[in-house]
Amino acid sequence: DSGVTQTPKHLITATGQRVTLRCSPRSGDLSVYWYQQSLDQGLQFLIQYYNGEERAKGNILERFSAQQFPDLHSELNLSSLELGDSALYFCASSVDRGNTQYFGPGTRLTVL
Amino acid sequence: AQSVAQPEDQVNVAEGNPLTVKCTYSVSGNPYLFWYVQYPNRGLQFLLKYITGDNLVKGSYGFEAEFNKSQTSFHLKKPSALVSDSALYFCAVRDRDTGFQKLVFGTGTRLLVSP
């Protein structure tokens, strides 16, 4: 167990809908990262937050947004969902300037 | 730009035999290198990392990896494979000389250890 928690484990929704994925980092970790794992794209970095502020952006679609709250948990919001958004979404956390990212169990999103 | 290549989609090995999972990387600066393992329906578990110093890095579950700067490689090894090692293995790189902390992953190598 990495200490990173993600909810829900599974999410099934329809095209055009909006969902929110939640992540709680390990105790003491200030940085949160979101990654998407899909069959065609592999593991792709989406976005990083550090202590409530956006630090880096990767291949994140405009339909997706994220935030990190004062208690350091993070949410990834996916809107206007398309079939191609079906994937496993991982959250990871690290101590800033620390080099190891610890991953949560992921949320499997299925868009029908 | 950073990139990682894992040239083998799958590696097959018999239990008790040594295993190697290959990884080569490309970064503009100096690398931080990582190996993660993913079991079915589970998240990524950290195995080991190379930051600096000794080129041979030891990690969890008896795994080790050797950093080779001239060959830009970071192959994962284990002297004696177990059936329970069967899983998907990912190599990842981060450029030490930039402020970005994102990891760039390879496509993964499926390890199958037969009894």
pLDDT interval class at B37 (50, 70, 90): very high
Positions of E strands within A8-78: 10-13, 19-24, 31-38, 42-50, 53-57, 64-68, 74-78
Other CB atoms closer than 10 Å to residue B70's CB: what's the count?
5
> Is the Cβ pair B49, A94 closer than 8 Å?
no
Which residues of A are less than 8 Å from B88 in CB distance?
Answer: none
Closest-CA residue to A2 (of B108, B32, B69, B46): B46
Q: Is A104 on the interface with B (CB under 8 A)?
A: yes
Say how many residues make up chain A: 112
Which residues of B are less than 8 Å from A55 in CB distance?
Answer: 101
For residue B105, what are its two tokens? 């992953």
Nearest residue on chain B to A41, alpha-carbon basis: B107
pLDDT, residue B52, reads: 86
Nearest residue on chain A to B50, alpha-carbon basis: A99
pLDDT interval class at B99 (50, 70, 90): low
> Is the Cβ pair B103, A45 closer than 8 Å?
yes
> Is the Cβ pair A99, B51 closer than 8 Å?
yes
Give B50-72 pLDDT, tens digit per residue. 988 889 999 999 999 999 999 99
Which residues of B are less than 8 Å from A93 in CB distance?
Answer: none
Give A51-95 pLDDT, tens digit per residue. 999 999 998 999 999 999 999 999 999 999 999 999 999 999 998
C-alpha distance from residue B103 to each of A4, A57, A68, B2, B6 (Å): 17, 12, 19, 9, 15
Neighbour-count burial of B79, counting CB atoms closer than 10 A to its CB (0-12 exposed, 13-18 middle, 19+ buried): exposed
For chains A and B, CB pairs below 8 A equal: 50
CA–CA distance, A12 with A42 (Å, rounded to integer): 21
